[in-house]
A and B are shown apart, each in its own frame.
Chain A
Amino acid sequence: MMTIASSPRQTRAASFADWLEVRLPKLVLAPSVLITLVFVYGFIAWTSILSFTRSKTIPKMEWAGVLQYAKVLGHERWHVAVHNLMIFGVLYVLICMVLGLLIAILLDQRIRHEGTLRAIFLYPMALSFIVTGTAWKWILNPGLGLEKLAHDWGWSSFHFDWIINEQMAIYTIVIAGVWQASGFVMAMFLAGLRGIDQDVIKAASMDGASLPLIYWRIIIPQLKPVFVSALVILTHLAIKSYELVVALTGAGPGYATELPSTFMYAHTFTRNQLGMGAASAVMMLLTVAAIMVPYLYSEVRGPRTSSH
């Protein structure tokens, strides 16, 4: 590596350069690794420790065992939040998948202006729900929104007040959530559909199989990896959903549309219950991790099956 005629000083300088060159990649990567260790894993540890203390307004390192967890789990609003998350999560994931698949199949029929339609189905994902929620809130407003529209168009018995109805408000969150994310699922399914081997399908149609039958028996079963991805991504999005509720109902009426994310925020920043906020955050993280860790593990470690 060294040139033969180098003086000792040059050698030392050169060897330092070599030393640096060998370690440069790791040195350049180090800040990102450090940032991740501190601000992701360190902060997870910090919040976890906090959840076992008596912290209220400010962090206080006084051991409290599982007190904060007991308080959260015994809290009426947490029950509502978890119950809502079940309703919202199941409907959101299911409807997004069905609608996404349906639209993807429709778009896959040699449609004119397919690009424009795709753009229309996907734009909700590119906008903040704080923005589009402003429109949704108004559309769902019983006095001025859809209800008034129906009345103006002559359907005077039409009644639609879910957003102010404690029993039904959570379903408005479902409607808005599906509107926002189903285009994304459509894009995933469409990419999956376009990756399917055409020969099998041609053979089946030559054998006289009808188009719906081909989809049901041949194409949809081949989309299994897309179903898994969509399921995982949607489920974790459902658990993290926050802006939907903030923009649409502010967790109301009362606390009828509380979700774990809004519960955490309210207890941390407005109710001065840091310990409870931390405990609820830890429970959210554990739920997400239970879904994402196996998925990421299989994605990173698994065979690199190309879906290009």
Chain B
Amino acid sequence: MSSKNWDSPQMVQGSANRWSRVIIYGLLIFFAAFYLMPLVVMLLTSFKPLSEVYAGNILKLPAHWTTASWVKAWGEACVGLSCDGIKGYFWNSIKMVVSAVGVSTFVGAMNGYILTKWRFKGDNLLFGLILFGCFIPFQIVLIPMAAFLGKAGLASSTSGLVFVHVVYGLCFTTLYFRNYYIAFPDELVKAAMIDGARFFRIFFRILLPCSGPIITVTVIWQFTNIWNDFLFGASFTTGDTAPITVALNNIVNTSTGEREYNVHMAAAMIAALPTLLVYVVGGRYFVRGLMAGSVKG
């Protein structure tokens, strides 16, 4: 939320001389190299043949660039006993993310609208109760949720995971929209009421058209969180229904014989691509989501 003015650098500078500039840039480049290293290692390794992986070192450029590992990771790598690659799990994750993000964002928007424009006694307490759900360690709900999903016939299914992600994503989506709509002028809502607009019409015609930025923030945040989830996926799915993070962890930790690090890295890159893409395109919104989840705007 507070990222509004972080594009305007400080005026503090004055005494900066040449040497301090060199030190500042030197440190920044050093840190940037440290942060980038794992990604670079992943990329380089995924394009190397296995012989080069074992003969060279982590930062050595491939002598023979090859996409064989990517092909293998996508269609042939073994996850548990089946060797069909991670493509199936990739689609599991896509299906899971699209539905869970859509539902949780819409419901969060309605909640935020009600909590700010149709205030009632105890609404803040209610919001506090919902908010706390963002921060619980999910270990506390694993056992009952596993039992519930079993009883509801949703065990080990994508629908089950969608349900779980909607339930535990609501607190964040509600938080985002509530904090956004609280700054939305009440006068506009009142004027619409006088003109005869009612509950849904006010939401769809007046608030929603102005909600572009916060929808983007929420969708990106939910997409990233749900795509990256491992704990729920590992706890509530088995075999074919697992999301990609669980499948990746299986590939990396259960391979026998000579470990195919290049295939592991290619699989990791495939699992990373959607969120990486979203981050590159919508990084600013991701940061805003991150900040809104921690510091009140």
Measured CB to CB, the residues of A under 8 A from B are 21, 24-26, 28-29, 31-33, 35-37, 39-44, 46-47, 50, 59, 102-103, 106-111, 114, 117-128, 130-132, 134-139, 144-146, 148-149, 152, 179, 183-184, 187-188, 190-196, 198, 201-202, 205, 210-211, 214, 219, 225-226, 229-230, 233, 236, 239-240, 242-243, 246-247, 250, 261, 264-265, 268-269, 274, 277-278, 280-282, 284-285, 288-289, 292-293, 296-297, 299-301, 304, 306-308
Q: Are B35 and A135 in contact (CB under 8 A)?
A: no
A281/B140 contact (C-beta < 8 A), A126-B224, A126-B279 known:
yes
Within 8 A of A (CB), among B1-34: 1-6, 8-16, 21, 24-25, 27-28, 31-32, 34
Q: Are B12 and A281 in contact (CB under 8 A)?
A: no
In this assembly, does B124 line the interface, its C-beta being within 8 Å of a C-beta of chain A? yes
Report which of A126, A149, A205, A265 forms a contact with B14, defined as CB distance below 8 A.
A205
Closest to B198 in A: A21
**Can you list 7 A-B contacts with CB-CB less than 8 angstroms, sorted by A residue number?**
A44-B136, A106-B31, A131-B272, A136-B38, A148-B58, A194-B8, A261-B139
Closest to A36 in B: B130
Other 19 A-B pairs with CB < 8 A, given A194-B5, A236-B135: A21-B199, A25-B114, A32-B107, A32-B170, A36-B129, A46-B143, A103-B28, A109-B24, A122-B286, A122-B290, A138-B45, A152-B56, A195-B2, A210-B15, A265-B139, A265-B231, A265-B234, A274-B143, A285-B136
Report which of A50, A136, A188, A296 forms a contact with B135, defined as CB distance below 8 A.
A296
The number of residue pairs between A and B whose CB atoms lie closer than 8 Å in the complex comes to: 317
Q: Are B58 and A281 in contact (CB under 8 A)?
A: no
Measured CB to CB, the residues of B under 8 A from A are 1-6, 8-16, 21, 24-25, 27-28, 31-32, 34-39, 41-42, 45, 53-54, 56-60, 107, 110-111, 114-115, 118, 120, 124, 126-133, 135-145, 147, 167-168, 170-171, 174, 198-199, 224, 227-231, 234-235, 245, 248-249, 252-253, 261, 264-265, 267-268, 271-272, 275-276, 278-280, 283, 286-287, 290-291, 294-297
Q: Are A179 and B14 in contact (CB under 8 A)?
A: no
* Whole-angstrom CA separation of A25 from B245 in the bound complex: 38
Which residues from A are CB-within-8-Å of B28?
103, 106-107, 111, 117
Report which of A123, A136, A247, A307 forms a contact with B295, defined as CB distance below 8 A.
A307
* Whole-angstrom CA separation of A154 from B158 in the bound complex: 51
* Whole-angstrom CA separation of A41 from B141 in the bound complex: 9
A-B CB proximity, top 5 nearest: A128-B228, A25-B118, A135-B38, A126-B279, A43-B144
A135/B10 contact (C-beta < 8 A), A32-B170, A246-B249, A261-B139 known:
no
* Whole-angstrom CA separation of A173 from B10 in the bound complex: 35
